Structure 1
Amino acid sequence: MARKKKQVAEFRYYQMPENRVLFALLGEKWRQQYGRDIDYLHFHNYLEIGYCYEGSGYMTLGEKEISYHGGMFTVIPKNYLHTTNSMPGKLSSWEYLFVDVEKLLEKMVAGIPGCAEQMARRINSRAIFAESSKYPHLADLIKAIMNIIRSGEMYCQQEAEGLMLAFLTEVARRNGENSETYSQNTRTGMKLKSDNLFLRIIDYISEHYGEALKISDIAKWAHISETQFRRMFSSYMNMSPLEYINVVRIQAACEYLKKTDEPVAMIAAKCGFTVSSTFNRNFRHITGVSPAEWRKRPENYEQQILRFQIHSEEGW
């Protein structure tokens, strides 16, 4: 019997401009036919906020497909699988904001113990898909932030960050309410608990990728069996836990290669690879070049890191 082909997920990694916590993708470039020749989901390293001005189609958020049209907006947590598809042969006009939620909250609500962590958990607890007419205040904030960044005027970044804090505060407040929800949570009821557990697992990997992480140890930390952990992770991410850990490690290695002159072997060790050949193999698999080749071409940073094509393979 032929082995069933597994799905592909793409990690669309964005490099945040230095000393910033948000950036925008604006303009005519984002008026296009979405989803053409793409049959896989993707995820980002930052929270994505999208606003649809015109067009129609459907979005896949996790396990659920939802139709969209002009005048709708989305808020999609980092590491959340999704994709956008225009109606066949039609154009859709979107613009996007990407936000480093944790750094923005640390910057803006510093001094209030536990506040940033609690807000971040609520913001990242679900994906939002909403009509602007039902939530005009949130929609207006999104468009205002985009227009401020578009203007490029003095202090526009500071003003945009202030409005973004207002936006995220409202999102956190609403996500914390049990009575009313405006989100299309792809996994409701008892699975919401699994969503929150999964986000904590992703955070745990981000904090400990430089250590000798074992899948069995992560499962033990999460208080679930290793088999259940592997099954849950692969279901959410369409890749194995080890593949994701390697993606995070190579992402970190790219940062070191760009910003330091440390030896490659030292960087490999910092990023959790105890064997240099394993590091080199994974680096080339993910980026398409060796660490030394990549370091010689830092001007190609965004192209090199990492429109990851992550393939789940048996045995990982």
Structure 2
Amino acid sequence: MKKRKPKMEFRYYKIPADSHMLPLTGENLKQCYGVEVDYLHFHNHMEIGYCYYGEGTLSLENTKHEFQGGMFSIIPRNFPHTTNSKLNTISSWEYLFLDVSSIISQFHQANPILSDKIIRQINKKASFLSEKDYPFTGQLIRRLLALAKEHPVYYKEEADGLLSALMMEIARMNQSDTLESGEHEADKLTALLLNVVDYISIHYPDNISVKDLADRCFITENHFRKVFTAYMKMSPARYINLVRIQMACDLLQMSNDPIADIAYKTGFETLTTFNRNFKKILGISPREWRNHPENYERKLLEYNIQTEEGW
């Protein structure tokens, strides 16, 4: 019997145009977060989670951490993870989804090299920490969550300042001067892959070839396919199509452009190819998506990805 490949789930959140963060707060987040969920998911933005109370495990890729109240997670975009509550218990979490690039870039527009260095440092790894050990970082997160719920006067201005402070704290925590040579090489390759992901987010309307992406990393095409798939849990071609469909969803919601024009604007050569990929990823046609705005209001796309080996 053929062994079933593990499932990976992609979850897409759209941050408001006038903000750097999307908060998920409220009573509905006091729940059982699943018991023995055996698959991971990842997001298109950094996820900051704060646990007020509860018991269970947070899985960061292949490592499991026991959680309880007063702990928080810092998970870069595209990093596989999942949360499981202890059987018959309720946990209380709240979340912030952050556009790291826009937060850092607003303060370092005149120095893109420094901006890129800080962004890579922030996205270097996932962490699960206790506020008892990192009180300032925990306080920043809780204050941002409180601002998101209360919206006091000058809410946005305070939030921008706190987000900048939080990003610097994360960058400092991730800094290490004791990397072994092998770790240093792996770190450089991760940085190159993140640059490729950023490149795709800008150039998705263009005719992007896997060879072009491999050349940007200074490695062979076969090696690039292998490391990209290991890092992103999907092939480069599949990721490009996923980004294009995300952008198409935005255009379908925000404009009255013909669907054929949207297909062309998001990098699909034919309407048939666009329709086929859209339905494959979302399970419905572009026209159905446009006619049912509740899909968009959830601000969440879930895409089940089969992990691929042997590229």
Same fold (TM > 0.5): yes
Amino acid at match of 1:138: T
8 A contact 2:105–2:112 mirrored in 1? no
Q: 1:105: which partner in 2?
A: 104
Moved beyond 4 Å, runs of 4+: 187-190, 312-316
Change (3 A) 1:54 1:205: same
Amino acid at match of 2:15: M
CA distance in 1, matches of 2:140, 2:104: 17
Q: Deviations over 1:95-147 (max 9, x none)?
A: 11111111122234434443332221111111121121111111111111111
8 A contact 2:72–2:138 mirrored in 1? yes
- Following superposition, the deviation at residue 37 of structure 1 comes to 6.7
CA distance in 1, matches of 2:89, 2:137: 27
Q: 1:27: which partner in 2?
A: 26
Q: 1:18: which partner in 2?
A: 17
CA distance in 2, matches of 1:92, 1:191: 36
Root mean square deviation, CA, Å: 2.5
State how 1:1-316 maps to structure 2 within 5 Å: 2-36=1-35, 38-178=37-177, 191-303=186-298, 306-312=301-307
CA distance in 2, matches of 1:193, 1:283: 34
Deviates more, 1:41-50 or 1:190-199: 190-199
Deviates more, 1:196-205 or 1:105-114: 105-114
Amino acid at match of 2:18: N
- Following superposition, the deviation at residue 272 of structure 1 comes to 1.5
CA distance in 2, matches of 1:113, 1:124: 16
CA distance in 2, matches of 1:86, 1:188: 33
Change (3 A) 1:218 1:114: closer
CA distance in 1, matches of 2:275, 2:242: 13
Q: Deviations over 1:130-180 (max 9, x none)?
A: 121111111111111111222122221221121111111121233234259
Change (3 A) 1:166 1:288: same
8 A contact 2:35–2:86 mirrored in 1? no
8 A contact 2:13–2:299 mirrored in 1? no
Alignment TM-score, normalising by the size of structure 2: 0.90
CA distance in 2, matches of 1:69, 1:179: 31
